[in-house]
Chains A and B, each alone.
Chain A
Amino acid sequence: VLTQSPLSVPVALGQPASISCNSSQSLVYTDGNTYLNWLQQRPGLSPRRLIYKVSKRDSGVPDRFSGSGSVTDFTLKISRVEAEDVGVYYCVQGTQWPLITFGQGTRLEIK
């Protein structure tokens, strides 16, 4: 089970934001990799992968997004929130593939 907190994060433009994701089990796979991704879902759109394997940014993702963590505790940070960052953020694990599971989602809004 992936548990995200907070479930809602109001942030002023230009300020940092942080979202946590806690797993009830270790997400370290037998190959040594940790298959924890972060997805962004802007209003009315499908999910978009931002971060894979804890901390690797996808192509085209601004460097204000960063992922960190290990084993069971993970964090997505946005260094300076912009208006286009509004949406819902999900952590998702693939370590237990094929049983992929998602966190509940964290809604980021502009204060």
Chain B
Amino acid sequence: QVQLQESGPRLVRPSQTLSLTCTVSGDSIRSGDHFWGWFRQSPAKGLEWMGNIYHSGSTNYKPSLKSRLVMSVDTSKNQFSLRLTSVTAADTAVYYCARDKSVYDSNGLLDYWGPGMMVTVSS
């Protein structure tokens, strides 16, 4: 069974950088079978795709976040990470990591999600 788990600070100061890591078990990022994604959910914006990353480090970002967002991958730890810079209160949300899209199986899109992590931006 594929499982994902988000981790990182739950409180971030305004103008600072939000950093989260997703640890995957039950699947191998290195296999290259899937892209791995970050999502967030807030009352104001609902569910929002932020971006995804492949085992090679290739990324896709939501255009409106591209200037502030960096994703990275560590295949040795089976983890991928997110860094969002210059955060404001508008970045307060529940952040989810998920198995984004399968490269080889057209059925594989958003089939596994982490439990989510509430991150608050506040001084």
Task: Tell me which residues from 28 to 56 in chain A have a Cβ below 8 Å from any Cβ of chain B.
Answer: 31, 33, 35, 37, 39, 45-49, 52-53, 56
B49 touches A99 (CB 8 A): yes
Residues of A within 8 A of B (CB): 31, 33, 35, 37, 39, 45-49, 52-53, 56, 58, 90, 92, 94, 97-102, 104-105
The CA-CA distance from A78 to B35 in the complex, in Å, is 31
Query: What is the interface size of chain B, counting residues whose CB is below 8 A from a CB of the partner?
Result: 22
B96 touches A47 (CB 8 A): yes
Contact for B110 among A56, A94, A104, CB less than 8 A: A94
Tell me whether A105 and B47 are in contact in the complex, defined as CB-CB below 8 angstroms, given that A46-B96, A98-B60 are known contacts.
yes
The CA-CA distance from A90 to B39 in the complex, in Å, is 14
- How many contacts A-B (CB < 8 Å)? 56
B26 located at the interface, meaning its Cβ lies under 8 Å from any Cβ of chain A in the complex: no
The CA-CA distance from A102 to B49 in the complex, in Å, is 8
The CA-CA distance from A48 to B99 in the complex, in Å, is 12
- A-side contacts of B49, CB under 8 Å: 98-102
The CA-CA distance from A92 to B111 in the complex, in Å, is 12
Residues of B within 8 A of A (CB): 35, 37, 46-49, 51-52, 60, 62, 96, 100-101, 106-107, 109-111, 113-116
Secondary structure dominating the interface of A: loop
- A-side contacts of B110, CB under 8 Å: 37, 39, 47, 49, 92, 94, 100
The CA-CA distance from A58 to B110 in the complex, in Å, is 11
B47 touches A58 (CB 8 A): no
- Least distance between A49 CB and chain B CB atoms (Å): 5
Some 24 contacts from A to B, beta carbons below 8 A apart, are A37-B109, A39-B110, A46-B113, A46-B115, A46-B116, A47-B47, A47-B110, A47-B113, A52-B107, A52-B109, A52-B111, A92-B47, A92-B110, A94-B110, A97-B109, A98-B52, A98-B60, A99-B49, A100-B37, A100-B110, A102-B47, A102-B49, A104-B46, A105-B47
